[in-house]
Every structure is written in C-alpha cells, then in structure tokens.
Amino acid sequence: MSFQRRFRNLLPKQIRVTDPFWSVWQDTLCRRTIPHIHQQLMETGRIANFERAAAKSGRFEGLFFNDSDVYKWLEAAAYAQAIRPSTEVQALIDETVAKIAAAQEPDGYLNTFIQLKHPQLRYRNLAALHEMYCSGHLVEAACALAENLGQTALLDVAVRNVENIRSVFGPGKRVGYCGHEELETALVRLAEVTGDASYREFAAWMIDQRGQRPSPFERELEDEEAMAVNDHPRHALLRNGVYNGEYCQDHLPIRQHTDVVGHAVRAMYLYAGATQVAMDRGDRQLEEALERVWQALVTKRMYLTGGVGASASNEGFTKDYDLPNLNAYAETCAAIGFLLWGQRMLEATGDSQYADIVELGLYNGALSGIGLDGESFFYPNPLESRGQHRRTPWFLCACCPPNVARMIGQVGSLAVGASEDELWVHLPIGFETELNLGGSAVSVSAKGEYPWKDDFELAFRLDRPTEFAVRVRIPGWAEDVSFEVSDDGEPAEYQDGYAVFRRVWKDGDRIRANWGMAPTWVEAHPMVLDDAGRTALQRGPLVYCLEEHDLGEPPQNFTVEPATPAEAVPATDLFPGAVGLRVRGWLRLRDFSDGLYAPLGTSDEEPREARMIPYFLWCNRGPNSMCVWLRHTEAVE
C-alpha cells in the first residue's frame, strides 16, 4: 500500500473532548499535572539553567538533556491552554518562553548544558549529548504554541536554532545526526507549520545518512575531550570492540532494517519521522522497510499492553519473544513513541491495524505511566509486581512525566482526522468539532462511554445537504458489530477496517454503532516463556490485571478458571464509570515455610473470587503485588 496522507489529525484547539473518560484526564492535566510539572522544573533547576545561560554565569543543574523536559512541558501546556484556558498557565508559558529566548546565542545555538559547562564541545558528541534531541523538542513545543495558540515567539527561537544546525550539517557539509532521534519528526512538523519544505528535506537527509559507513559516531569515539564528558557511546555502540550502532539504530541504513533494535524510544521516534518523510514521496523501498519493522515488532516484541522495550540494560529490545513480566521495562516514553509512530502509519495508509495499536498503547501501556492524581508517575511499566513498584512525583531522568502530559493533551487529535470530503473517527470517544466537509460547514458531535460501554453515536448539523464520507473504525477486538444510520440510506462499505458511509448528509443525521464488548481470555505465543501456562483478560481496548488489594493475597498464588465467564462489576471506587471483572479460581494455601519445594499435588487450594481491574489503574492504592498474566486451570471451551 503506497504511503499517501489520507487525512490530517485535528489540532487540540479544533476539537472539544466531551468524553466522560478522557474529560477526567484532561481536567486533571490542566488543574494538576501542568502546575505540578512546572513546579518540579523550577525546584530541580531546569528553568534556572536558561536564566544562567542568559547571564552567561552559574552552574548547570541536572542531566545534560534536561532542557528537553522544559520543552515537553511547554508543548503539553500549549495543548492544555487550547482545551482549558487558564491565565495562570499562560503566564507560566510566557515567562518560560522569555527565559528560553534570552538564553539563545546570537548565532541561534541553544543548549544550556553545553553553554554553561562545555562551550567548546558544540556538536562534538552527537552520539551522547542529545543536543539535537533537545532541539527537536524545542521545535515541537514551538509548533504546538503556534498552531494552537497563535503564539510565535518560541517558533522564532526554534527556527533560528534549526538554522544553526543546518549551518553545520547537511548535503555538502558535515554529516551528522543525533544519537537520540527526535529532531527528524520535529523537522517535518516545522515544515508544515512554516510552509518551508526544506526542513522536511533536511529530515529526510538525516534519516538517509543514519546507518551509512563510516558513521559520524565512529569519529566521535576518537575525540578524547568529548568522550571525557560522556563516554557512554564507547559502551553502547561497540560490540567486542567493533562499532555496531544498534543502540541508536545506526547499524544499517533504514531501508535495510528488518527488526526493531536498540533503545526503544529512539527507535520509535526514528520510525515516526521516517513515516512522515515517506508520505507522498513514492519511496516504496522505505515504505516496505517501515511495514516490515512494524510487523516484526507487533508480532514478536510487543507486550499485550502495547508496551515496548523489554530490557532495562539498554532501555530497549533484546530478541524475539523476550517479554518478561516482573522485570519488564516497557518505558512510558516508549509506549508513547510507539503510538505516535502508529498514528503516522495510520495517516499514511488508512489501515485500521495501526489504529488498533494506537488504541492499545493509549489505554494501557502509556496511560499506566501516570497516576490518577496527575502528579505521580511510572517510568517502567511492568506486567507483574511483588510490591516493589510505586508511583513517584518525579525522576532524576524525568522524560516520562511531561511526555505523558503532552499525550493526554493530544487525545482528540489521536481520535479524529479529516480530509476535504472525509471524516475519520479512529477512537469512539465523545467529542464536538466544526469542520468543512464537501464544501460545507459541518458540526459533528459524538457521544459514548468508551471504554466502559460499547454504544457510540455520531450526530451531524448542516445548513444544507452535503455529500461527504464518514469513516468509522471497527475496533480489532470487536466481534459483533452493528451500525444504524438515519433513513437507512446507502449501506456501508468496509475498507481497511473502517465502515465507510458515503452519502448526502442532512441536518440531524446520525450514525449509531455498537461494538459488542465482552471479556476475552487470551494466551501468548508459546515462545514467550514468561506467559507459558498463563492467560490474560481483556475487555474492549482494556487489558486487566489482578491486584493483591482485590484478592487479599498475592495474585502469584491464584489460579484462574477461564471456563467460568468473567462478570462485569463496578470499579467506580477507582475511577468514574469504571468496570471491573469478577473472576473465579483457586488460591494456593501452602506457605512453604518448611522449605522451597514440595511434592507436586500436595498443596491445598480453596475456591476464591476476585475483582480484576484495568491495568492503567494499578498501583493507585499504594504498592502491592499485581499480575496481568495469571495461571489457569484449563482452556476456554
């Protein structure tokens, strides 16, 4: 399938999320998360670093990529302002942008770590020091402020910073790109916001250069002064003393990639940017590589929750089917990067398989990264715990909190897209928007209680009858789907997992859908050894887990009976409208206090019922044992 832009995502300012599920999260984002993260940025010196860089004096505080946390907060704050305007938050935005602008060097360079500590090392350790990564998040924040709030002060800073990079790197100049991808996808966004296609071409050049030999990182390894500041590349990029580059996807040119390797967040950002570059270019070799790597990831290296990157040692991938539960890394940022890549694959193909993964990660592996209070977070997202995991208000390496904040602010954009004569509904959430479709102004409202209930309704208000198409995604998990359309009209066509209703729409027309949501027990590929003899429970887009809080004992001692249907029960004590699932099984009673082993079959068991809860809700009542994958007695008949 040729990559062509099928639609454009609506901007947060263009869509009002009325959904009872996501409204809670967006209210929390605006009231608590945005102020909380800003406070952390102040207390940890991240914003003060810009003040010191402007004054050209003082010490740098924190990790060398801390500037990026400020930029991600600004992007999230832009979305928050678009959906819930606040004079207090706007004042914080204005103040922060002014400090960033004051810190920028006359030639456009901007990186407070280098400016305050190592001004002689500009662009000399691209493999490790994240200069372009920080610039990428600067660009993303600037574009968010310009697109959603019409504020361009930071955009001017970002453009000058990118021009500084382009004065050094590019065709006919020095070959270079960042060890941590992000600038690539940001440059494509900058091209769209400014109308300057050369930024897109610069992104394409960087993507094409990565993996070629000799790598610019090989030369950097010989720079003793640069390595003295951060020699991580000498450990991460070499294998048996020979340059390998897998850690930062520099092992092969991208068109030769067959598997996803290395650091998970970096890989997701690379492929997201490459997908944007590939759209409308007719580069079938690049398209095939992206499709090939995607399939390898979702069929061999993805968690049930949509989490990716199993290993803490490289914050990334190891080998096929290596998906441990207790020691799962599954970084929040990696899940977010994965769903952002999926959204771009969806834009390029219109194929609902990518929307299925966006939904999976959004409701599970990414959303689990933030607590219900909006002020506590997970960095890794394991699928099992023995009580050692807990949510925390901040991290030394704090990439995840502002990243999950900007994700929540973009939920409307992930849910709905449009072209000149087509409305695309990817996620059946409640929303209101006004669009131009088929040459007419159309007001669209959607109602539903997803992910708890399976009814969904779209309603249209028009001044005059107008022909356009409405594409409604059929969730990949749905087995019993029904649609009802006003006046019956033409029957739906079904294309790439979407029900397509093309007709002349009149004022008051509606589409009603039902997804047939039911609990489903699933099993893993037999090569996933951690899940052998175990089963997991899903309902709609949600993955469920069992916590010690609900069982009364560690769930590691519980064996579920999947042949007994799971029963929907309230979980509103945890989240408004939430649905839990009551399951039945057996609790092992032997305490093994007399030794580590016992003859098979000598442990007593008693019947036990327990409520399972959605995975994203776990550990909101304090640390305790948890399992997604449970031992089971027999297969479902």
**Secondary structure letter of residue 301 according to DSSP:** S
Q: Is 153 helix (H, G, I), strand (E, B) or coil?
A: helix
State the Cα–Cα distance between residues 60 and 129, nearest whole angstrom: 14
Token digits of residue 219:
């030369």
pLDDT of amino acid 635: 56
Chain-centroid distance of CA 107 in Å reads 34
Greater confidence (128 vs 489) lies with: 128
CA distance 498 to 470: 9
Catalytic residue flag (residue 493): no
More confident residue, 616 or 591: 616
Q: Please, what is the Cα angle at 143 between 158 and 401, to 5 degrees?
A: 95
Q: Annotated catalytic, 399?
A: yes
Beta bridge partners of 614: 544
- Domain ranges within the chain, ordered by starting residue: 11-297, 419-514, 519-632
117 with 60: CB under 8 angstroms? yes
Closest CA to 165 of 199, 210, 192: 199
Question: How far apart (Å, rounded) are the C-alpha atoms in residues 422 and 500?
Answer: 9
Active-site residue, from 315, 347, 449, 548 = 315
Distance CA 472, CA 247 (A): 39
Confidence of residue 83 (pLDDT cuts 50, 70, 90): very high
Which of 10, 32, 129, 133 has its CA nearest to residue 80? Answer: 32
Catalytic residue among 399, 400, 545, 619: 399
What dihedral do alpha carbons 156, 175, 3, 283 form, nearest 10°?
Answer: 140
What CATH topology corresponds to 419-514?
A: Immunoglobulin-like (2.60.40)
Contact 190, 199 (CB under 8 A): yes
Q: 637 pLDDT exceeds 70? A: no
The DSSP secondary structure of 51-104, one letter per residue, reads: HHHHHT-S---S-TTTHHHHHHHHHHHHHHHHHS--HHHHHHHHHHHHHHHHHS
Per-residue pLDDT, 508: 97
b vs e for 323-358, b when ≥16 Cβ sit within 10 Å of the residue's Cβ? bbbeebbbbbbbbbbbbbbbbbbbbbbbbbbbbbbb
- Burial pattern 377-386, b for ≥16 Cβ within 10 A else e, equals bbbbbbbbbb
Q: At which residue do the structure tokens 């909006």 appear?
A: 374
Q: Where are the beta strands (DSSP E) in 506-598?
A: 510-514, 519-522, 534-539, 542-547, 558-560, 567-570, 579-588
Chain length of the chain: 637
Confidence bin at 634 (pLDDT 50/70/90)? confident
**In the sheet that 440-448 helps form, which strands lie side by side, from edge to edge?**
15-17, 431-437, 440-448, 455-462, 510-514, 482-485
69 conformational bin, left if phi > 0, alpha if psi -120 to 50, beta if neither: alpha
Chain centroid, CA 502 distance in Å: 32
pLDDT mean over 49-63: 97
Cα–Cα nearest to 130, from 62, 56, 74: 62
pLDDT digits (tens, 9 = 90+) for 173-202: 999 999 999 999 999 999 999 999 999 999
What is the pLDDT at residue 473? Answer: 98
| Helix (H) / strand (E) containing 238 | strand 238-239
> Is 90 exceeded by the pLDDT of residue 592?
no
What's phi and psi for 139, nearest 5 deg?
-60, -45
How far apart (Å, rounded) are the C-alpha atoms in residues 334 and 265? 4
Give the model confidence (pLDDT) of 284-343 as tens digits: 999 999 999 999 999 999 999 999 999 999 999 999 999 999 999 999 999 999 999 999
